[in-house]
Amino acid sequence: MNDPSRTLKHWLVLAIACGMSASAVGITMNVIGVFYTPVAQDLNIYRGSFALHATLASVALAVISLFFTPLLYRYGWKKVLTTGVTLASFSTMAMAFTTQLWVFYILGIIRGIGAGLYAMIPLSMIINNWFEKKKGFAMSLSFGSTGIAGALFSPVFTALINALGWEYSFIVMGLVMIALALPAILYHYELDPKDEDLLPYGYDETEEANQRLIKQPNWTNFSYTNIAFILIFVIAFTHTSIAGISQHLPGYAESNFLSEQVGGILLSAVMIGNITFKLIIGSLSDRLGIVKASVIMLVLTAVSISMLLTLSNTYLLIFSAFLFGTVFTIPAVALPLLTTEFFGKELYVRIYPILSFSAGIGAALSMTLVGYAYDFTGSYALAFTIALVFIAVNIPLLFIAQKHTPKHT
């Protein structure tokens, strides 16, 4: 008899989630930067003015996350998914047919709304529902696909822009987004495997029963004034607000009298670190627990920033940039796992959208805030120092939050 908690379908669903992640975040957020310079030069506008459409998309993605759960319950998963893919991909293709900034801004907002309907919240729900064992690995692989997509498609679209122009490249980008998400639309699966008479991968009925005995009495008394919830909300915002440093590494290199090539290599090193450490934190979480794994990533991020602040050797700076890829592990992998660990699956759909919103707003503001820090001081040292302070504060906050979860109160 086949084990309903260990089937091929579990891994097919994971593969589908990777495609969704690459489409909704990898393409729309990690590749869009290659369009900034060619579009700005062709339309004779500031790069920052055009890049603002990406910030608006990030804000829209964060806001729509707050409404995903009621939309899911009202319309069903496949309708929400199909709508999201349609909005994100067609708004991207529509950018090929305009030269007006305000139209780019509107299309950016539409793209963010669409991407949000099949990005962080549904992805984390799928992994949480379909995986009990190896959940950290599954979460890290699915969200790590955003970095893989960025690394693979950035040079592809750079070449396409040079060969075809940015207009046709936007059309190709929209088509690639559809292709990556199409298996998730066409393949039959439910958000919850139990609706298909299956169980989460590695499901242990005894362990699940013990968890319910511990946690059930606390759920009815949960409040959003819970200390753990407030602290994780703060951690999500402050940590993602330093992630924007990565996009300023080319400027950091220039400010330190390094070549443009070195700046590009630093950015590539961050992307490679992004992929690598997302996979590592998943394995660490499965072995050590998500709290210890998160602390390790936070410490490594602090080490990388300290190295960037103090070192001048090019090769060591490249390694520091690679190590800075740890900054992306907290919002992408740790946050959904911490939500499940601290509050359980029963409250996940209520709590994680709010935490994701906090992280999304922090990410949307980060690039601008880091830029202003440089504009006002003539150096990136202030942004780096603030980042170190945030990390130093967030590590103890994480342990305090752990002690005040409903499981421990």
**pLDDT digit string (tens) for 206-262?**
555 444 433 343 444 567 788 999 999 999 999 998 887 876 777 778 777 777 677
pLDDT at 217: 36
- What pTM was computed for the model? 0.80
Judge if 236 and 90 occupy the same domain: no
Judge if 247 and 162 occupy the same domain: no
Quote the domain boundaries for residue 102.
Answer: 1-203
* Domains contained in the chain, number: 2
Judge if 290 and 329 occupy the same domain: yes
Return the HEC string of the chain: CCCCCCCHHHHHHHHHHHHHHHHHHHHHHHCHHHHHHHHHHHHCCCHHHHHHHHHHHHHHHHHHHCCHHHHHHHHCHHHHHHHHHHHHHHHHHHHHHCCCHHHHHHHHHHHHHHHHCCCHHHHHHHHHHHECCCHHHHHHHHHHHHHHHHHHHHHHHHHHHHHHCHHHHHHHHHHHHHHHHHHHHHCCCCCCHHHHCCCCECCCHHHHHHHHHHHHHHHCCCCCCCHHHHHHHHHHHHHHCCHHHHHHHHHHHHHCCCCHHHHHHHHHHHHHHHHHHHHHHHHHHHHHCHHHHHHHHHHHHHHHHHHHHHCCCHHHHHHHHHHHHHHHHHHHHHHHHHHHHHHHHHHHHHHHHHHHHHHHHHHHHHHHHHHHHHHHHCCCHHHHHHHHHHHHHHHHHHHHHHHCCCCCC
pLDDT at 304: 96
Judge if 364 and 220 occupy the same domain: yes
**pLDDT digit string (tens) for 165-180?**
999 999 999 999 999 9
Judge if 224 and 178 occupy the same domain: no
Q: What's the rounded mean pLDDT across residues 77-102?
A: 96
pLDDT at 390: 95
Residue 408 has pLDDT above 50, yes or no: no
Judge if 323 and 390 occupy the same domain: yes
Tell me the percentage of the chain whose pLDDT exceeds 70.
93
Judge if 223 and 302 occupy the same domain: yes
Please report whether residue 2 resides in a domain: yes
pLDDT at 349: 81
Per-residue confidence at 77, pLDDT binned at 50, 70, 90?
very high
Question: CATH no. for residue 23?
Answer: 1.20.1250.20
Mean pLDDT of the chain: 87
Please report whether residue 381 resides in a domain: yes
Judge if 44 and 81 occupy the same domain: yes
- 44-48, 221-225, 316-320, range with greatest mean pLDDT: 316-320
Per-residue confidence at 407, pLDDT binned at 50, 70, 90?
low
Higher pLDDT, 32 or 11: 11
Please report whether residue 208 resides in a domain: no
